[in-house]
Structure 1
């Protein structure tokens, strides 16, 4: 009788452990996050929104993320270590046989971050709903210019710490819908899909064949119509 009780207890322990594992947070160290993007622009720039991409794919491997975009004939890749706060921009213009690389220092990235409104006063509301495939909780927050926002965070998955930016570091969970600032524009990002696949490793070293330039030199070239 005691042996049967021990077996029953052992089976119960296995079932509980299995249930805990099934509900455990899935940690993803590399893959691709695809966002839907909405822009909040001043009335005089509203027409620009139709020309901006409605989707944004961010590949990541460890602490380094990569975004790729097309600007006219130029393919642009932006890599950033979101922990060390260093980056690299790669510009490839095949039609002109030009390949340029621009390094971004920690000081430059922090200066760009400092110029954006500061996000503050994050508060969990307790309100819950599904965003896409993920169970999420709503948070409210503000910026130091008087704006108010909401975000949704999930504990179903765990993305690398700092992935959504240092301003969101105190949120418990991974952000599946949130408003932030990119290049001076207010944007709302909503996760459409997260795939775990081998996309890296990514390097912030200048690849062979790319000519190192400063951002000032690149801007001067654009201004000169070259």
Structure 2
């Protein structure tokens, strides 16, 4: 039953921590939709079919929410971009199971440590339109010798911390960018950003959910049967 969990939780977590932006249409409550492309290593290829090609992230203030259907489970990831605290909720109705994983500073730093460090962000002055937005190109690199480019716009402002610490030196909302999470290279391209009613979002564990660590979730996956 738990074979889906490892890839499902990984996919949800990497997407949730990969999306974002920070700095002229200001949206404080709404949603952002991204298309996703993955640069998988041969070892990562088996998970390719389970990784989504598009994701929608809802947000209200600095807290964002992303849902992923993975086999019989619904995985919900909430994250506060101002503190990097998070909450993962796993709901498996067929097993009458509701699990919650809290993500604090220690978990954030542990996940960040496994990814290449991004740095040397430089605005190039090259500009073009991407969808409805005026965009500027940036270059950047990682500590493994990789070089990248991204496109950002100041036409759109999303809540502080939405892009995470890696992109804090970029002025504007990210329209297309590449980053890593848990070793998976992901390129995200903005498809749509919209103001819409989301309602209150919280990192409090809902009633009825059993709190687990990520290590316990992985142990369930490894030894929990079919």
Q: Is the contact made by 2:111 and 2:181 (CA closer than 8 Å) also made in structure 1?
A: no
Equivalences for 1:140-151 in 2 at 5 Å?
140-151=139-150
CA offset digits 1:101-157 (Å, max 9, x no partner): 111111111221122111111111111111122110000000011000000000111
DSSP-derived class of the 2:100 partner: strand
Instruction: Give 2:18's aligned residue.
Output: none
Instruction: Give 1:16's aligned residue.
Output: none
Q: For 1:77 and 1:138, how far apart are their aligned partners in 2?
A: 32
Instruction: Give 1:131's aligned residue.
Output: 130
Q: For 1:166 and 1:130, how far apart are their aligned partners in 2?
A: 26
TM-score normalised according to structure 2 size: 0.85
Equivalences for 1:210-221 in 2 at 5 Å?
210-221=209-220
Is the counterpart of residue 181 in structure 1 residue 180 in structure 2?
yes
Relative to structure 1, is the Cα distance of residues 100 and 43 closer, same or farther in structure 2, using a 3 angstrom cutoff? closer
Which has the higher Rg, Structure 1 or Structure 2? 1
Which residues of structure 1 form unaligned runs of 5+? Answer: 1-24
Instruction: Give 2:189's aligned residue.
Output: 190
RMSD: 1.4
DSSP-derived class of the 1:206 partner: coil
DSSP-derived class of the 1:141 partner: strand
Which residues of structure 2 form unaligned runs of 5+? Answer: 1-23
Q: Is the contact made by 1:162 and 1:168 (CA closer than 8 Å) also made in structure 2?
A: no
Instruction: Give 1:101's aligned residue.
Output: 100
DSSP-derived class of the 1:171 partner: coil
Q: Is the contact made by 1:161 and 1:169 (CA closer than 8 Å) also made in structure 2?
A: no
Instruction: Give 1:169's aligned residue.
Output: 168
Q: For 1:202 and 1:72, how far apart are their aligned partners in 2?
A: 25
Q: For 2:114 and 2:221, how far apart are their aligned partners in 1?
A: 23
Instruction: Give 1:14's aligned residue.
Output: none
How far does residue 46 in structure 1 lie from its aligned partner after superposition?
Answer: 4.0
DSSP-derived class of the 2:110 partner: helix
Instruction: Give 2:111's aligned residue.
Output: 112
Instruction: Give 1:57's aligned residue.
Output: 56
Relative to structure 1, is the Cα distance of residues 204 and 138 closer, same or farther in structure 2, using a 3 angstrom cutoff? same
Number of matched pairs: 202
Relative to structure 1, is the Cα distance of residues 46 and 210 closer, same or farther in structure 2, using a 3 angstrom cutoff? closer
How far does residue 192 in structure 1 lie from its aligned partner after superposition?
Answer: 0.3
Highest RCO, 1 vs 2 (Cα 8 Å, sep ≥ 6): 2
Instruction: Give 1:20's aligned residue.
Output: none
Q: For 2:49 and 2:91, how far apart are their aligned partners in 1?
A: 25
DSSP-derived class of the 2:125 partner: strand
TM-score normalised according to structure 1 size: 0.85
